[in-house]
Amino acid sequence: MSLLTVLMLLPLVGALGLFAVPGENVKAIKSIALGSGIVTFAVSVLMALRFKTNLSGFQFVESHSWISSFGIRYQVGIDGIALVLILLSTLLVPVVMLASWNESEGGRWSSRTYYILMLVLETMMIGVFAATDVFLFYVIFEAMLIPVYFLIGGYGRGERAAAAMKFLLYSLFGGLLMLAALIGLYVTAEGQIGGTFDLTTLSHLQLNSLTENLFFLGFFIAFAVKAPLWPLHTWLPTAAKSATPATSVLLLGVLDKVGTYGMIRFCLTLFPHASHTFTPLIIILSLISILYGAFLAIGQRDINGLIAFTSISHFGFITLGIFAMTSQGLSGATLYMVNHGFSTAALFLVAGWMSARRGSTKIDDFGGLQRVTPVMAWMFFLAGMSALALPGLSSFVSEFLVLVGTFTRYPVAAIIGTTGIVLAALYVLLTVQKALHGPTTPGNENLTDLGLREKIAIAPVVILLVLLGFYPTPVINQINPATAQVMAHAGFSDPLPKAGK
């Protein structure tokens, strides 16, 4: 059994372990869940250490026949892109468990259900990045909706049921288009090379341009819903406003990355020509997302809505980088996925603590927090700075790589995208000004600062935000060979310097 499969099974084992504890013993349930999250993270680090950076192709491969009549296999393997995203997922799960220690109580169902859902979700998050059989990917891609649906609908706040339904319907709509394209792909493959869902085999398929375009759209729309690209984004703010902070972190930090990951892994690999055809459209949509998300973020009154719209803006940067088709753009976009995961996690967790203490998510209800709760205010400020991509913090490296990569091929798009940095400064600093600065708003005088548990939970995220800003090389080195392979397969090479000697 490959280490990858072991990694996928670990959270499931933890979930089973939860049944051994009586339901009243909430503390034991939390500890077991957190423990299995930490063990999973430790194993994923072990896997990262054993990962060989300079090997091309997938590693830790495991392949078994699953539904043999359709050539469907249980087939997993990772390259550098998948590796860093899996590490992101396995780190964020224990972090959010610790950060929102009491979130599971007061939901519609028991704490045990909450942690089972979360651990099952973790298994799927690992699986979705590890799957190299397109059908297996699709199954996990869709199955992931179920735990998230229950996490939002059962443990969220406000109109949680409606938000969960909206999220589910949006995603199912995209998923159906992908299924249609998937079946089409299988049928085409059956005619040419025999029925298979193996990614590597399928990537050598000869498609005529119309079918390729249609299949591409099927996959792309599914991913554009996930990674919300304008105008398919409206489920995200609704979901973020209703979900618990922990769910929001996993939803925006990891699940939405499946969309952008899918664009690289499937759209570019399976349909390179169609990707090229649709590049102008996607770049325009990305630019709209960047600016639109930023403007909407400025106009938000709800702090979770704000974070959701900043994410839409950042996803615009990620898709821009992916479809710029340069090595800087692709590597930058992948790095952006990781960095955005951490920076959104920090934002959502701190915003969650702030709202839980204040009993409100309205930005205007805060005010003067810097004086009352300095540590919490600092954490929010740092997370905000990383959201506006301050040099020295991790997001800067990725955002700049995306822009540089875009500029070498599409200068105008890069120029428009760059104006987003001013808007980013506005939405972050306006919020900082309203929430942290100014005189203390009445009712906030007695808010408590972060406790030890919360400090421990946020520490790894904040440390990584700073560390990866100054020294991103370890992550970039994992990503580079994989993106180079994607570029080579899609038939793209970097533009040369114009003033060459």
Partner 1 sequence: MTSSTHLVYLIALPLFSSALLLLLGRIADKWGHYVATAVSATTFLIGLSEFFAMRSREGAARSSVQTLFNWISVGSFKVDAALLLDQLSICFVLLITGVGTLIHIYSIAYMSHDRDRRRFFAYLNLFVAAMLLLVLGNSYLNLYVGWEGVGLASYLLIGFWNERPAYAVAAKKAFVANRVGDIGLSLAIMIAFAQFGSVSFDGVKAGVPHASTAALTALGAMILLAATGKSAQFPLQSWLGDAMAGPTPVSALIHAATMVTAGVYLITRSNFIFDASPTARVLVVIVGAITLLFGAIVGTAKDDIKKALAASTMSQIGYMILATGLGPIGYAFAIMHLLTHGFFKASMFLGAGSVMHGMNDEVNMRKYGALRKAMPITAATFGLGYLAIIGVPPFAGFYSKDKIIETAFNAGGAKGWLLGGAALLGAAITAFYMTRVFILTFTGKSRWDDEAHPHESPSLMWIPMVVLSIGSVASGFLFNSGNALVNWLAPVVNSANFHSEKELMKPIVVSLLALAVVVLGAGYAFLKYRADVPVVAPEKVSLFTKAARRDLGQDDLNDLLLVRPGQALTTALVKTDENVIDGTVRGIAWLVQYLSYSSKKIQNGYVRSYALIMALGALALVATIWVVTL
Positions touching partner 1 (CB under 8 A) are 169-170, 231, 233-234, 292, 295-296, 298-300, 326-328, 331-332, 368, 370-371, 374, 378, 385, 390-392, 396-397, 400-401, 403-405, 407-408, 411, 414-415, 418-419, 421-422, 425-426, 429-430, 432-433, 436-440, 470-473, 476, 480, 484, 494-501
Task: Check if the beta carbon of residue 321 is closer than 8 Å to that of residue 330.
Answer: yes
3-state secondary structure 84-124: HHHHHHHHHHHHHHHHCCCCCCCCCCCHHHHHHHHHHHHHH
Q: How far apart are CA 22 and CA 37, in angstroms?
A: 20
Q: Shortest approach of partner 1 to residue 32 CB, angstroms?
A: 33
Please report where in the chains the tokens 């939860």 appear, as a residue: 18
Instruction: Report which of 454, 336, 474 is spatially closest to residue 393, judged by C-alpha positions.
Output: 336
Task: Check if the beta carbon of residue 325 is closer than 8 Å to that of residue 492.
Answer: yes
Q: Shortest approach of partner 1 to residue 336 CB, angstroms?
A: 12
Q: Shortest approach of partner 1 to residue 310 CB, angstroms?
A: 14
Q: Shortest approach of partner 1 to residue 172 CB, angstroms?
A: 13
Question: If you compute the radius of gyration of the chain from its CA atoms, what whole number of angstroms results?
Answer: 22
Instruction: Report which of 49, 35, 98 is spatially closest to residue 460, judged by C-alpha positions.
Output: 98
Phi and psi torsions of 49, nearest 5°: -70, -35
Please say which residue, 134 or 377, places its beta carbon nearer to partner 1.
377
Q: How far apart are CA 482 and CA 487, in angstroms?
A: 9
Please say which residue, 143 or 429, places its beta carbon nearer to partner 1.
429
Q: Shortest approach of partner 1 to residue 409 CB, angstroms?
A: 9
Q: How far apart are CA 156 and CA 160, in angstroms?
A: 5
Q: How far apart are CA 122 and CA 40, in angstroms?
A: 9
E-state strands within 200-354: none
Please say which residue, 22 or 474, places its beta carbon nearer to partner 1.
474
Q: What is the DSSP letter of 158?
A: S
Please say which residue, 359 or 439, places its beta carbon nearer to partner 1.
439
Please say which residue, 132 or 313, places its beta carbon nearer to partner 1.
313
Please say which residue, 101 or 378, places its beta carbon nearer to partner 1.
378
Task: Check if the beta carbon of residue 137 is closer than 8 Å to that of residue 184.
Answer: no
Please say which residue, 191 or 500, places its beta carbon nearer to partner 1.
500
Q: Shortest approach of partner 1 to residue 338 CB, angstroms?
A: 14
Q: Shortest approach of partner 1 to residue 169 CB, angstroms?
A: 8
**Amino acid identity for residue 84 in this structure:** V
Q: Shortest approach of partner 1 to residue 50 CB, angstroms?
A: 23
Task: Supply 382's token pair.
Answer: 């740092």
Q: How far apart are CA 429 and CA 294, in angstroms?
A: 12
Please say which residue, 16 or 169, places its beta carbon nearer to partner 1.
169
Q: How far apart are CA 233 and CA 167, in angstroms?
A: 10
Q: Strand, coil or helix: what is 74?
A: strand
Please say which residue, 198 or 302, places its beta carbon nearer to partner 1.
302
Q: Shortest approach of partner 1 to residue 280 CB, angstroms?
A: 19
